[in-house]
Every structure is written in structure tokens, then in C-alpha cells.
Amino acid sequence: MLAGYSVQYWNILTHIRANYMHQNDKKQMVAEAVLDYIDTGQVLGIGSGSTVEIFISHLNKIRSKIDACVSSSDKTSQLLDQNGFRVIELREVGTIPIYIDGADEANKQKQLIKGGGGALTREKIVASCSEKFICIIDDSKFVSKLGKFPLPIEVISMAQSKIALEMIKKGARPVLRENFITDNKNIILDVHGMDINEPIVLERELNNMPGVVTNGLFSQKPADVLLISDGINVKNI
């Protein structure tokens, strides 16, 4: 009986490990492929998350091409700094030629859900100042309809109940992200089960709610290039 359980447990662990490694391999592949999109002498906008962290680990290969970086989170700034890249403020440049970031979900219109790492506000600001937003994902994140991944919303804490109520009225289930404060000192509500039929309309509607700082829909300004790794190839869609 006990041995039976151990075998089952071992099989589950092996399965989880294989899946995780596979996804990580795909992230490695796409994070390396995007290097080809970077021209010499560029200020690079850089997002947040594990795919971006892998990308940063490859950046050394094209170090001479990069003048400086604009970062979308304190964590990314720290990592870039540790790797010897010059991090400058967005206000010093205004416009950025290329912004590279991951996503939690993407559809074929290159509309995204972002914010799994909680950096959505700065990510949206940097993306909005970029001439070309290149999004790098593995194929598990490519969906026909956005919304299986809970939609993150950064909220000013005094508006927590009000915004949560609005989400419930929409038939969704808001969950406060525990023990998490954004770089801007706000809270995150992760909204489960939101029916996202019209991403642009919903993005605008959520933006208009007093207390909402940013929502994780990137659909009014989607990615310009979406690179997807399936572990064998990297497709540009």
C-alpha cells in the first residue's frame, strides 16, 4: 500500500519535473532568439519575469550593441545592474526603439494578459513608450481567448472593496494577492473567471474605475511582434 503510494507520488513528481523542464527549455529558446531583433546602439526596454530573467542572462552576448536599458521593475533593474548594464530612467529618453517582455497569456491579435509578477503598471508605461514591443512566450501561453489566467489589477488599497465588488458584479472572482505590494506601493487583485470577449472594451472600462491603477490587459496597444517557442522552433506571429 505504502509502496503503491510512493510509485504514484514518484510518477506525479516526474511528470511535474518533465513539464517544468520542458517549459523552461522553451523559455530559454525564445529568450535567446529575440537577441537577433536587437540593433546596435540601442536603448533597450526590458520587462519582468522568469523569461526576461533568462533573456538578461543571454544579453552579455550582445553587450556591445546596448547603450543603456530602461527597466520595468525594481527586480529587473537590480538584475541588470548586477550584470553590468547601465539602467536609465524612462524620462531620460522618452521613446524606446524596442521593448522586450514576457506575458502570462497571448492571443493571435497579440493582445496579452500580463502582471503575473505584479509589474504590470511600469510594464504598460514602458511598452507605451516603445516603438516596437516584442513579446516572448512559450506556447503554453498562446490561447484562443484571453482570461483563463486570472487578470491582475493593480489597485490603490483604499479602493480594494469597491473594485472587488465591481468584479463580482461582472461575474468574476477577485482574490487579493497575499503578502504582495507592487513597486508603486499598491495591492494586486487577481480576478478569476472574467469573461473577456472584448479585451479592448474591458481594458478601457477597468481603466476608468476610480482606484484602478492599471489592469493587466495589453490590448489597446498589443505587442507588435509575438515570438512563441514550442521547444523545436520559435515562430514570429
Q: Which amino acid is at 11?
A: N
Residue 140 binding ligand 5RP, by CB under 6 A: no
Are 206 and 184 in contact, with CB atoms under 8 Å apart?
Answer: no
The answer to whether residue 205 is catalytic is no
24 binds ligand 5RP (CB under 6 A): no
Among 31, 36, 21, 57, which Cα is nearest to 135's? 31
Site string for ligand 5RP, 106-125 (x = CB under 6 A): --------xxxxxxx--x--
Interacting residues with ligand 5RP between 88 and 107 (CB under 6 A): 101-104
Q: Is 47 in the site for ligand 5RP (CB under 6 A)?
A: yes
Please name the residue ranges forming H helices in 48-193: 50-58, 74-82, 90-93, 120-128, 160-169
48: contact with ligand 5RP by CB under 6 A: yes
- 3-state secondary structure at position 88: coil
Q: Which stretch binds ligand 5RP (CB under 6 A): 44-52, 80-88, 195-203, 206-214?
A: 44-52
- CB-wise, 27 or 43, nearer to ligand 5RP? 27
* Cell numbers found for residue 46: 526590458
Identify which of residues 66 and 113 has a Cβ nearer to ligand 5RP in the complex. 113
Q: Which amino acid belongs to residue 18?
A: A
Question: What is the Cα Rg of the chain in Å?
Answer: 19
Distance CA 67, CA 221 (A): 26
Q: Applying CB under 6 A, which of residues 33, 45, 46, 51 lies at the interface with ligand 5RP? A: 51
Known catalytic residues are: 123
Residues found near ligand 5RP in the complex (CB under 6 A): 47-51, 101-104, 114-120, 123
